[in-house]
Amino acid sequence: MKSLTDSYKLSNGVEIPCVGFGTWQTPNGDVAVSSVLSAIEAGYRHIDTAQGYGNEESVGIAAKKSGVDRKELFITSKLDNSEHGYEKTLAAFERTMKNLDMEYIDLFLIHWPNPIAFRDSWREANASSWKAFEELHKTGRIRAIGVSNFHPRHIKALMETAIIAPTVNQIRLCPGDTQDEVVDYCRSQNILLEAYSPLGSGKIFDVPEMRALAEKYGKSVAQICVRWSLQRGYLPLPKSVTPARIKENAEVFDFELEEADARLIADLKGCVGYSYNPDKTPF
């Protein structure tokens, strides 16, 4: 990967830019619009949102304001936890498309495999949502479909009834939280790993080893994290609302981490905490 517009190829042949711009915890309105515009101006072409983030409308506004051809942008959103099930998924998708004001979306994900509202019926709920996903995909309204926060058991259960396999699993992947079992399984199934919270939700800046590596390479801690994620074969989704940092987070293609340093980063176990168990999340 040599630039923001270089791509991974998903299992269905769709190309997805190798770094995405995350919008989790960015409030809908001027802040979200301006940050997404800054990202697009900095060269990002991959924008990640979700129904649960509440900022799809702002992403759509920014995409239009940018003046960049829609075909050059890769837009992802995710099904909200309360909307699992065939009919609810179809209705929720229509709301997403209205919010984004777009004719199609590039990637749509089931956000959580086992939200609390479906804890006793998550297999059936996921299967019926996936049926809706597959139908929307066949019509061309979704170019690729995938999942988020799924562990192998959730993917295996989904594949008992699925016709189309997930192309992506978006999970928390950051220094010290590498979710090796999930990653190894997804790679065996040709499922691309997207890394949300690649900066450990900001906690990474307090880790002495990361500050030392930033000094060694003459880069920021954030740049070290994004570069590490790429070298691991992940697709990182760094988030910021500050234009200078948005631009800086994308400037990761002019250096390479030594193998020993990449291993050191992976081995900082728990330095920014660990991902939620999706079967026990209280939402």
Closest to 75 in 3D by CA, of 103, 52, 54: 103
274 is catalytic: no
Catalytic annotation, pick one of 8, 53, 185, 234: 53
Residues 214 and 224: their CA atoms lie apart, in Å, by 6
Q: What is the largest CA-CA distance in the chain?
A: 54
Structure tokens at 245: 């940092």
Find the Cα–Cα–Cα–Cα dihedral 239, 106, 14, 161, rounded to 10°: 110
Q: Which residues of 159-174 are buried (b: 16+ CB within 10 A; e: fewer)?
A: eeebebebbbbbbbbb
Beta-carbon count within 10 A of 22 CB: 29
CA torsion through residues 24, 229, 251, 272, sign: positive
**In terms of DSSP bridges, do strands 15-17 and 7-9 run parallel, antiparallel, or are they unpaired?**
antiparallel
d(CA 5, CA 44): 7
Q: Which two tokens stand for residue 34?
A: 């301006």
Tokens (6 digits) for 163:
């016709």
Residue 265: DSSP 8-state: H
- In Å, what is the CA distance from 16 to each residue of 12, 61, 107, 150, 170? 11, 21, 9, 20, 13
Known catalytic residues are 53
